[in-house]
Structure 1
Amino acid sequence: MSGLLSIFDLSDERGVLRTSIAVTFVISFLGIGFGLFSGSFSIVFDGVYSLIDAGMSLLSLIVVNLITSYAVADHLSRKLRERFSFGLWHLEPMVLGLNGILLISAALYALVTAIGSLLSGGRDLEFGSALIYAAVTVIACAGIAAVEWRANRKIGSEFLRLDVRGWIMSAGISAALLIAFMIGLAVQGTSWQWISPYIDPAVLAAVCVLIIPLPVSTVRQALADIFLVTPVDLKKHLDTVAAAFVAKHGFVSYRAYVARVGRSKEIELYFIVPADAPARTIGEWDMLRDEIGDLVGDDGPNRWLTVVFTGDPEWAE
């Protein structure tokens, strides 16, 4: 029992992801089964959407394991370290970007299908079984989103933040389905029954229009990380710290290069020292490196900091 609890440990990023993956697989297969039984393409889409999300969460878990192992484990494969001497942080934005693109693509495909169904007269479905699925899924998605959000308040993972957003999106989809199916059931045997075939494709189209823009910010940030776009806030902090350091020690100037790649911060600082400056020992230069490292802050396994002192500005360009 203790082994099972450690696997689904909600205080650890990997444990939270394992929990999310397990619940997502259950909901996805439930959705596909109920969707096929009730004849609802919107429920099938909900299940497929969840299945894509589960697959990407599984890939995210593998990447988290690799990044964490590389950063803190000394026993990691020597061959792996030799092939990826700059670390494995670049995998994180690649997975996040792929996740967002797949979710957007699935929603676009479902939107086109829903519009086609509306134009062809809609489809009939069994509202009773559809209602049961929608109610169960709303409760499950809202519950896991709350649990994961609370866990991530301490963990602070971008993977988990995206996963929470995915659960909220799934809960919203299921809530919309629940309301639509309740309306469909209520109009049976009334003069409004003619709208029944249009309810399923209409709600699917509405849901797709709402969820398509949601992963866009994640894809944009992932692309910024992949293309090494300089983060403005971090560059501003480095400029402030480096300028004060230059003034304090009488250096000529500095050059700062910075990029954020997933959870890592890639920082290179070059300080131009006067060519006629007195010689220093290696220990003294290392003390200066320690000083600027403390000023930069956020010292941990995900910070890559290079500090260079040179009298030739060309080495800093």
Structure 2
Amino acid sequence: MGRYRVMPHAPNRRSRVNLDAMSSSPLPPRQVQAGPSEQTVLAVSIGVTLLVAALGIVFGLLSRSFAIVFDGVYSLVDVLMTVVTLLVARLIAAADAGGPQNRRLVEHFSMGFWHLEPMVLAASGLMLTSAVLYALINAVHSFLDGGRVLHFGHAMLYAAVTLVACIVMSAYQLRANRRLKSQLVALDARAWMMSGAITTALLLAFAIGSTLQGTALEHWTPYIDPGVLALVCVLILPLPLGTIRRALADILLVTPQDLRLQVEEVARQVVAEEGFLDFRAYVARVGRGRQIELHFIVPRGQPPRTLESWDQLRDSIGERIGGDPQQRWLTIAFTTDLEWAE
């Protein structure tokens, strides 16, 4: 079967530490690595998925298996949303690359492209959920209507070819990711492995159906296709639903509690060490990006510090918060007026 997966987030390479003087930390130099890039590995995966999807539609029609046709259609929708995700990733890379050719892009999206990621994920989840629900209803209707007679030879051939593709692609991506260490590639590799497991089960089901032909149990063979389709739908339905839930949380800027607790713990330590009065923390996750605002309430009448001293304190706070600085927008401000922090 084609890949059944949760859509990964597009990679975000923008990092900004906004000071009350709005200064930013420099980006680390990019390193050139040998071997296929992350986008190359994912592009190969997209190409193979398109091929498997086309085979699924053709062999599904030849074998009269709606389960295989659904697999092809699902894979087409899946790869379409993957292409959109990669387009967002390339927009992010182009914006970070700088240069006059990307200046207009940065001017229009000065806050980055994090907000596009959950929008793409929500659209993907809704489309995939609709496809799964339609297929499940069709499977139930077909089961109640007496099933569907299959040409098991074509169905088994498709399952075998798809299983080989799943094994090859998962091995290729796992090997490439030893160097890339990409979350996107890791998710895609797990998706191929999951698809391989499902395809193995389908191959066994079709093989059992083929052996039942010409026996006393042959009257059960028409129920194999709708039964397999219903089982696959039930197994994969939580995946797009989970994608929708996470995307809505990002769109609505729901505060991730683990990140909030981590940021507040660092802020409390800084307040105690520096003799500040209090702090206010505002945390959100948008796609793979983390947006953090920290406002420290400084006592009135403290001896003045140099800007370099405040910058060093900001750098220290950023290091304590941790995480990938390339996927973080961190704002740290100091004020004696509580209203500026509320």
- 8 Å CA contact 1:56, 1:95 repeated in 2: yes
Q: Take 1:221 and 1:158, find their aligned partners in 2: how far apart are those partners?
A: 17
Kindly indicate whether structure 1 or structure 2 has the higher relative contact order, using CA contacts under 8 Å at least 6 residues apart.
2
**Is residue 94 from structure 1 mapped to residue 142 from structure 2 by the alignment?**
no
Residues paired across the two proteins, number: 309
**Is residue 228 from structure 1 mapped to residue 253 from structure 2 by the alignment?**
yes
Q: Which runs of 5+ in 1 are unaligned?
A: 1-8
Q: Which residue is equivalent to 2:61? A: 36
Q: Which residue is equivalent to 1:194? A: 219
TM-score between the two structures when normalised by the length of structure 1: 0.90
Match of 1:67 among 79, 82, 92: 92
- For residues 19-30 of structure 1, the aligned pairs below 5 Å read 19-30=44-55
Give the drift of 1:50. 1.2
Q: Structure 1 pair 46/137, CA: closer, same or farther in 2 (3 Å)?
A: same
| 3-state SS of paired residue (2:326) | coil
Q: Structure 1 pair 200/32, CA: closer, same or farther in 2 (3 Å)?
A: same
Q: Take 2:238 and 2:144, find their aligned partners in 1: how far apart are those partners?
A: 24
- 8 Å CA contact 1:273, 1:311 repeated in 2: yes
- 8 Å CA contact 2:283, 2:290 repeated in 1: yes
Give the drift of 1:152. 4.5
Q: Take 1:160 and 1:96, find their aligned partners in 2: how far apart are those partners?
A: 17
- 8 Å CA contact 1:176, 1:207 repeated in 2: no
Q: Take 1:216 and 1:244, find their aligned partners in 2: how far apart are those partners?
A: 39
- 8 Å CA contact 1:50, 1:170 repeated in 2: no
Name which of structure 1's ranges 257-266 and 295-304 shifts more when overlaid on structure 2.
Answer: 295-304
- For residues 230-245 of structure 1, the aligned pairs below 5 Å read 230-245=255-270
Q: Which residue is equivalent to 1:215? A: 240
Q: Take 2:316 and 2:228, find their aligned partners in 1: how far apart are those partners?
A: 59
Q: Which residue is equivalent to 1:298? A: 323
Structure 2 letter corresponding to 1:199: I
Q: Which residue is equivalent to 1:3? A: none
**Is residue 77 from structure 1 mapped to residue 102 from structure 2 by the alignment?**
yes
Q: Could you give the per-residue CA deviations for residues 217-265 of structure 1, whole angstroms, max 9, x where no partner exists?
A: 3332222212111112221221121111111111111111111111211
- 8 Å CA contact 1:187, 1:193 repeated in 2: yes
Q: Which runs of 5+ in 2 are unaligned?
A: 1-33
Q: Structure 1 pair 162/217, CA: closer, same or farther in 2 (3 Å)?
A: farther
**Is residue 284 from structure 1 mapped to residue 312 from structure 2 by the alignment?**
no
Match of 1:109 among 134, 149, 157: 134
| 3-state SS of paired residue (1:220) | helix
Q: Take 2:122 and 2:180, find their aligned partners in 1: how far apart are those partners?
A: 21
| 3-state SS of paired residue (1:77) | helix
**Is residue 250 from structure 1 mapped to residue 275 from structure 2 by the alignment?**
yes
- 8 Å CA contact 1:230, 1:259 repeated in 2: yes
Q: Structure 1 pair 199/10, CA: closer, same or farther in 2 (3 Å)?
A: farther
- For residues 129-278 of structure 1, the aligned pairs below 5 Å read 129-149=154-174, 151-152=176-177, 155=180, 157-278=182-303
Structure 2 letter corresponding to 1:89: W
CA RMSD across the alignment? 2.1
Structure 2 letter corresponding to 1:60: T
Q: Structure 1 pair 59/25, CA: closer, same or farther in 2 (3 Å)?
A: same
- 8 Å CA contact 2:88, 2:117 repeated in 1: yes
Give the drift of 1:74. 4.1
Structure 2 letter corresponding to 1:177: L
Structure 2 letter corresponding to 1:171: G
Name which of structure 1's ranges 37-46 and 159-168 shifts more when overlaid on structure 2.
Answer: 159-168
Q: Could you give the per-residue CA deviations for residues 130-166 of structure 1, whole angstroms, max 9, x where no partner exists?
A: 1111111122123323433454566555544543454
Q: Take 2:326 and 2:101, find their aligned partners in 1: how far apart are those partners?
A: 15
- Which structure has more helix as a fraction of its residues? 1
TM-score between the two structures when normalised by the length of structure 2: 0.83
